[in-house]
Amino acid sequence: MKEALQDIWMAETRDDAYHAFSTFQKRFEAKYPKATDCLVKDKAEMLAFYDYPAEHWVHIRTTNPIESMFATVRLRTNKTKNCGNRKTTLMMAYKLMRSAETKWRRLRGFALLADVVKDVRFINGVKEMETHQQVTA
């Protein structure tokens, strides 16, 4: 099952992902109907990363930075339970997050963020203009 899921989210193109998705659905629908229904319901959101630059996909696919940051904050707030009020706890969480921020990796393809903000369309991780140029060449 893990390999079939990886075939979906590691596919080169959206079409390949949809093909892997239908293969997954046919293979596991009888054995895991609730899980399959959940994936079918959220398929568009799950594959939305194809609308962003390919360089960003590795960052979009993972939740590890968020989870590790909250683990640090949770650990510290659990240790200092009942030691302060809401304001001091929020300040401590803010400082911990700022400290964790210094260890983050730089976003791959960070120069493409300007295009993302400007709503430039990406198809399978490539700018739409570049895609049309490749087809006409």
HSE, side-chain direction, 13 A CA sphere, residue 106: 6
122: which DSSP letter? E
In Å, what is the CA distance from 63 to each residue of 19, 32, 48, 114, 119? 25, 24, 15, 23, 24
How confident is the model over 111-133, as pLDDT tens digits?
Answer: 677 777 787 778 877 777 765 55
The CA distance from 134 to 130, in Å, is 6
- Other CB atoms within 10 Å distance of the CB of residue 49: 20
In terms of C-beta density within 10 A (0-12 exposed, 13-18 middle, 19 or more buried), how is residue 26 classed?
exposed
pLDDT over 90 for what percent of the chain? 12
In the chain, domain spans: 2-49, 52-137
Kindly tell me if the per-residue pLDDT of 96 is higher than 70: yes
Tell me the pLDDT tens digit for each residue of 18-29: 999 999 999 999
Q: Residue 45 has which token pair?
A: 């959101």
Of 130, 14, 6, nearest in space to 61 by CA: 6
Q: Which two tokens stand for residue 86?
A: 């809401």
